[in-house]
Amino acid sequence: MDLSTTIDLNFSITDTHDNRVPPTQGTKFGTSASNIWNLSAGLGWSSGDHASFGIAANLSPKSSSSFDTPIMVGSLSDDGRLGARSGTYGFSIAADYDTAGESDFESAPSLNVAYTHISTDQALEDLISGKRVENLAKIRVACQGSRSLSCTHLRPLLAAQNADLDQLAVSASYTATLYHNSTVLLSGTYYNYFGEDPNTIGLFSVALLGRTTPKVKTPSAKARKGGSVAETFDFGGGIPLAPLTWDSRIGLSQKLGDFSIGVVLEYGNYVNDTGHTESIAGKLSYAFGERWKASATLGSSRDVDSAGVVTPGSSFSMSLRYRF
């Protein structure tokens, strides 16, 4: 909503619905059905064609869900049901500058600072072996002093305690548009944590599922005429398996008439050198005139723990957008 020629307001309500997934062969527990709500509101201000600023807040009330999770520690191999009740809230501020000209080289630096409070209760509620007490005791012994990513995730689940984590993320990016149709992105984010050890979150991806903090929208005058360069790379990556210390991104986008093709490479390092994550995502878009745009995104990721164990992932999405 445009409040004036320089100020706009945006508001969103998102429901992430997890369908119930029955147990696969060889397992006992599936994934429960759940609804995860996320509410956000933001205010943006642009000072002409170049500079813009924004502030946003978001809230995801606590919701409960359960998941099947494999447990492999040393010689012990079991299957467990993970119960989780999680919620988040936070706010962010952003500042952007766009040269907004028509030369063969235009640039747009930006800065974003986001605070997120994560609260989660996670516990291993049951084991497929039926020997819950006996096997949980074995897992505790096997994980004593271990720095493996598996034990890092399991220790908070064994304690079955509430974990509260405050995360501050500072991001900076620079995009350059070459010859009107080619755009290059360089960006990085540094994460700092307050309060408890971030590893006490347990399964970080479960705590943040459906609760990712939206980026602050700060449309400049150029954006009102057809979209800012920041929107070009608003895709890629995913939810990290563990809290990050830093991550970096490099991207390239090319316009080919009404089509545009983009690719983003991302690399991140986990807290306490417990591993890293890497991903690649590609996006194909087609503009139907000035208002309609369709796009498809395909991504692949690899999470590697300190022991070299790889967890692969993939994603695919399609979207249709109409600009009023």
Instruction: Kindly report the length of the chain.
Output: 324
> In one letter, which amino acid is 110?
S
pLDDT at position 197: 79
Structure tokens at 146: 């271990």
Element (H, E) at 159: helix 149-159
pLDDT at position 221: 45
pLDDT at position 219: 53
What averages of pLDDT result for each successive group of 10 residues across the chain (324 residues)? 88 89 82 91 86 93 89 79 92 90 88 94 84 82 77 82 91 91 94 84 84 61 48 70 91 93 94 88 91 93 84 90 86
CA distance 79 to 129: 7
CA distance 124 to 150: 14
pLDDT at position 145: 73
| Residue 264 within any structural domain of the chain | yes
| Domain count along the chain | 1
pLDDT at position 298: 94
pLDDT at position 151: 80
Domain boundaries, position 184? 7-322
| Residue 2 within any structural domain of the chain | no
| Residue 1 within any structural domain of the chain | no
b/e burial code for range 7-40 (CB count within 10 A of at least 16 → b)? ebebeeeeeeebeeeeeeeeeebebbebebebeb
Sign of CA dihedral 254, 256, 257, 263: negative
In sequence order, what DSSP letters do the residues of 166-204 get, joined into one string?
EEEEEEEEEEEEETTTEEEEEEEEEEEEEES-GGGGSSH
* CATH code for the domain in which residue 119 is found: 2.40.160.40
| Residue 61 within any structural domain of the chain | yes
| Residue 259 within any structural domain of the chain | yes
Reported pTM: 0.84
